[in-house]
Structure formats: C-alpha cells, structure tokens
Structure 1
C-alpha cells in the first residue's frame, strides 16, 4: 500500500491565501502553458486546498482546487488566480521558489 502524504482539505485554513467557497478567476493567459486553455479567464469557486508537501506548503502555499461550472475542477497556484493583489501573489511565488530551492524564504521571520 502506498501512503500519500498529501493533505487535501475542504475547509478554511488560517493562513491560506483563499477561503473555501471564494469566487476566483483564473488568469487570462499562461506564459509557460501550464494552465489548461479551457480554464484561462474563467471564474470558479474554491472547493479545496491541496498540500503536496505539507512540511513546506502548509498553511500559506497550497494548490487551490477550483470548480468551474461546465468545465470541472483543476488545481492552480495562488498566483494563477485573481484572488489577491498582484504584490501578494508575487510574494507567495517568491516564497515557493525559495523553499523549493532549499533557501530561506523571504517570508520567514526571525534571525
């Protein structure tokens, strides 16, 4: 039996960039082509938060599961959704890159 360490949460999490049930819009274009074209620019509802690596992602860096009526569900990074000011999405993206590269996150506090 393979154990999946991912956390899939369908309720609000303090510190997450979005709330369950929030209406969000997928960005209108994907520079790297990672977003399915059928979702680009579409509005949907947040139905879940997915933490593939809870130790580094929880609580502020989940993949966000969005349900778009008539299209189904897909997962998005926070910066791929219109859910916060651009400066906030950029800061989250910087955090993700720093943590994955093994460096210190610009969001880290303390000495």
Structure 2
C-alpha cells in the first residue's frame, strides 16, 4: 500500500506544481485553493508512504515522478517547449525512479 500512497503523492505533486501556474501568483481563488489542497494531499501521502519506505527512496521517487509529470503537463497543457534533449533528460529521471523501485531496501 505504501507504493500506492507514494504514487498518489506524486500525482498530487504534479497537481500543485501545475496549479501554481493556473493560480496566477495566488490571484485566482479557486485555482489557489485547489493548489493548496493538492499540496496538502501530496505531503500527507508522502508521509504515509515514508512510514514503511526509506525516506531517501520515497523522496527521490516523489520528486522524480513529480518533476517528470510536471514537465509533461507543462508541455501538453501550458505550451512549454519540448526538445529531444529535454525528453532524454526526463527519461533519465524516470529510469532513476524505476531503478529505485527495483532496488532492494
């Protein structure tokens, strides 16, 4: 169940990171509220996952999935630029996440 918590935490991490853009510097109340809720859920779920996972592994996976997901959402939803080099770098982050998941703890 800890991996489910961690995966959900990463999705909410993506939500609050993308929400920062939609909140327009916290000038949009609804987007700001959703952003804060995603942040709260992300941190809470990370804490639940860290009960039984090593914190270094949990944090690295949380930030890695969050960074990759935010990058992809930024490209797909917000018009951020894509390039082969950026895709290669995000792929390396995801390979690191997979490696951490497969490594014994």
TM tier, shorter chain? Answer: 0.3 to 0.5
Bigger strand fraction? 1
Higher RCO structure, 1 or 2 (CA under 8 Å, sep 6+): 2
Bigger helix fraction? 2
